[in-house]
Structure formats: C-alpha cells, structure tokens
Amino acid sequence: MASPKPRPAGLKLIEGRGPGRDSGGRKVTEPPAFKRLPPEAPEWLPEEARAEWDRVVPELARLDLLKPVDRSALTAYCLTWDRLVQAQREMDADGSVLSENSQGRVRHPAVAVIESASKELRAWAAEFGLTPSAEGKVARQGDDDGDEANPFAGSG
C-alpha cells in the first residue's frame, strides 16, 4: 500500500497544537516562498492542449496555485488531454471494434490509449486540485476574503 501524500504546511498548521506546530506538536517547516505567477504556455502546444491550458490556467492562477516552474507539469497534463481527445476522435470515426477474427473481436488501439490517458489525466488533474476529491486537498496561498472567512484566524 502506498503511503499518503505529504500534507501542505498550511493545513498542518491549521490543525496544529500551537503556533508553528502540527497536531502532534512537531515544528512545521514552511515551504519555499515561490513567486505565484502562472507559467507561459509552450508555443508548440497542439490546438486541443492549448485550449485546455487556456481553460485551466486562469482559474489556477486566480487561486494562487501556480508558479513558473509548474510549466512542465501543466504541459504534461495538457498533452495528456490532447492525446485523450485525439484517440477518442479516432475511435469515434472508426468504431471501438475494428474487425473480428477467429479469436474474437479486435479492439481499436485507440481504446487502450484512451484508458491509459484517462488514468494519467486523473493523476495530473489531482496534482492541481482539478478533481472534486482533490480540490479540498490543495492549499491556497492567498485568501481574497481576508480573516473574516477564516474560522482559524485569531481575533487580535
């Protein structure tokens, strides 16, 4: 069984026993203070990948979840999306079964690409909080609502 992913420092502190301590009383080290800016999209992204970049990056940037060094991970996510879309289009045009032989039906190769890309896409999406279950696990760096929306903020 795989060990759980590390929890963001902010979440550890919210659930902590005291200032700078986690729920077990251990000191929590703050993560590096990356500059929170969205990365530039690679110019060579295929059309479908670029459309996905343009769809997700503004929202992730609004939530202060992106930094320039996230470019490669975002690129991989968008290219995986492109691969999924292209394989689906190919299968839609040809059908999911190409032929039948003495051993049975011959499945379209795009079916395997779709299945593989779907798993990979789900993994990349979770890294950016783009799935319903992963959404709550992604730490926000900034909070537009101020301390009023934070039930853990001190009163003074």
Q: How many C-beta atoms surround the C-beta of residue 145 within 10 A?
A: 8
Give the whole-angstrom CA distance, residue 73 versus residue 48.
17
Binned at pLDDT 50, 70 and 90, residue 36 comes out as confident
Binned at pLDDT 50, 70 and 90, residue 138 comes out as low
Beta bridge partners of 105: 100
Asked whether the predicted pLDDT for residue 142 surpasses 70, the reply is no
Binned at pLDDT 50, 70 and 90, residue 12 comes out as low
Which tokens sit at 49? 């990948």
Domain ranges of the chain: 9-22+41-140
- Identify whether the C-beta of residue 50 lies closer than 8 Å to the C-beta of residue 44: no
- Identify whether the C-beta of residue 152 lies closer than 8 Å to the C-beta of residue 18: no
State the amino acid at position 155 in one-letter form.
S
Give the whole-angstrom CA distance, residue 30 versus residue 141.
12
**pLDDT at residue 133, rounded to an integer:** 73
Name, in order, each residue with C-beta under 8 angstroms of 23's C-beta and a sequence gap of 6 or more.
Answer: 12, 15, 16, 17
